[in-house]
Amino acid sequence: MLVAACGHPASTLPPLAPAPRATVATDACVLTTDSAPPPAALTIAVPDVGRFLERQVYETLVRIDCTGTPVPELAQAWTSDDGGHRWTFTLRPAARFSDGTPLLASDVFAALTGDSSLLGQGSVTLDGHDQISVRFDEAAASVPAVFADPALAVTRRAAASSWLVGSGVATRDSTIDAATLTPAQEGTGRPTVTVRPDSGVDARDLLDRGVDILVTSEPEVLSYAARRSDLTTVPLPWSRVYVLVSPVASTVGDTVRASLARDVVRTDARPARGNYWWLAGPACPVADTTAPASTGTGTAEVIYYPRGDGPARDLAGRLVALGLEGSTGKAVGVVPADFEVLFAAGTGSFLMSLPREALAPCQAVEDLVSRAPWLRSDPGRRITALVETRDRAIVRRGGSAFTVDWDGTLRLR
């Protein structure tokens, strides 16, 4: 069973526990099974198929496990010999792309120096065919978590197809309804995995049809699984935080947060806590704390939420009922496309979920500001964290072959 620590990871990423050199990965985050080995084939359903596929097919230098600990991936070891400014990575021996092409430090150099601005002013240097170094102006006590960001995954264009190939544990073949992951190497004992989205059907039907793993937060589905002796339910890391984003700064106290988590949200929830990534705004170039504060074009007494997001609907309704948005406040659900238009204009307040963690906080702030430019003048003051939520993995007994990443994504091991 996934240990309790994975349900309560460190409140922020980074910082991470000091790790001057890579250590052997532990089993703290393994989604275990009561029978070994797992079946030769598994079917799973997840909320985000694309993100799941990327984690299996492509690799970064390191990955971050469910406890917030960096563990080896493409890099078998890393060191810093100048107080945490310069980080040198040694690639694992005989690393290869799935098409058999050797993966060299030059491929990593291309990934780190491409279009992504995640490394900021970091200077990348090749130190041979199996070593690469990155030097930052600011020192870090542990290997920077940004090296696990999927945007820095190492890929190459396949000669015979339009796919980008990676060096991960599996290759993929997609159809309209599902994708199939095939082990990249024979003899590893890893299963062939068919993955499909959990949307569009009643997830309880998926369980009845024999899906081996289902990731969900739906209370009716979790209740149904709890009555099944062939299924077990495992909490995943706290991965989302519901926030109120408003042109007008809002004040929500700890007592209200506790009530929202306990009485309003019907899935796993707890009061928001921690120093979230958007509070890094003043230190990020994208955030302009000297610009005049924009109040948007509408009234803050309307709270918009994405239609179909149950927790957002319930939270918006309770804030209106409490009078926190004015005596004439109302909650309005809109389709995602309309939500983005309104959010960009700052027309009202917005109840939405954001990732709980960000491996590159300034990049995350920039992405958010690109959606809503009015947030540029101090995003931290305009975003009020309410509750944190997490998914659960419903696992058919004997059907697991996965470990869990920092954001709750399952990964073949």
Residue 16 belongs to some domain of the structure? yes
Residue 198 belongs to some domain of the structure? no
Q: What total of structural domains would you count in the chain?
A: 2
- Residues 306 and 407 grouped into a single domain: no
- Residues 270 and 324 grouped into a single domain: yes
Residue 270 belongs to some domain of the structure? yes
Residue 245 belongs to some domain of the structure? yes
- Residues 268 and 361 grouped into a single domain: yes
Per-residue pLDDT at 97: 95
Residue 228 belongs to some domain of the structure? no
The amino acid sitting at 103 is: L
- Residues 346 and 405 grouped into a single domain: no
Dist CA 194 CA 183 (whole Å):
12
Sheet holding 410-412, edge to edge: 30-31, 402-404, 410-412
Tens-place pLDDT, residues 109-143: 999 998 667 887 779 999 988 999 999 988 999 99
110: Cβ contacts below 8 Å, ≥ 6 apart: 154
- Residues 261 and 289 grouped into a single domain: yes
User: What dihedral do alpha carbons 208, 209, 212, 217 form, nearest 10°?
Assistant: -50
Most distant CA atoms of the chain, gap in Å: 66
Residue 357 belongs to some domain of the structure? yes
Per-residue pLDDT at 10: 38
- Residues 407 and 312 grouped into a single domain: no
Per-residue pLDDT at 31: 85
CATH number for 131: 3.90.76.10
Dist CA 362 CA 380 (whole Å):
12
- Residues 405 and 311 grouped into a single domain: no
Question: Is the Cβ–Cβ distance between 361 and 277 less than 8 Å?
Answer: yes
- Residues 270 and 375 grouped into a single domain: yes
Residue 377 belongs to some domain of the structure? yes
HSE (side-chain half, CA atoms, 13 Å) at 283: 11
Per-residue pLDDT at 410: 95
Per-residue pLDDT at 378: 78
Q: Is the pTM of this model over 0.85?
A: yes
* Strand, helix or coil for residue 204: helix
- Residues 376 and 408 grouped into a single domain: no
Residue 43 belongs to some domain of the structure? no
Helices 336-345 & 361-371, crossing angle to 10 degrees? 100
- Residues 162 and 250 grouped into a single domain: no
The amino acid sitting at 327 is: S
CATH number for 282: 3.40.190
Nearest to 307 by CA among 277, 273, 337: 337
- Residues 147 and 82 grouped into a single domain: yes
Tens-place pLDDT, residues 147-170: 999 999 999 987 766 778 999 999
- Residues 152 and 280 grouped into a single domain: no
Q: Which domain holds residue 362?
A: 240-389
Question: Is the Cβ–Cβ distance between 374 and 294 less than 8 Å?
Answer: yes
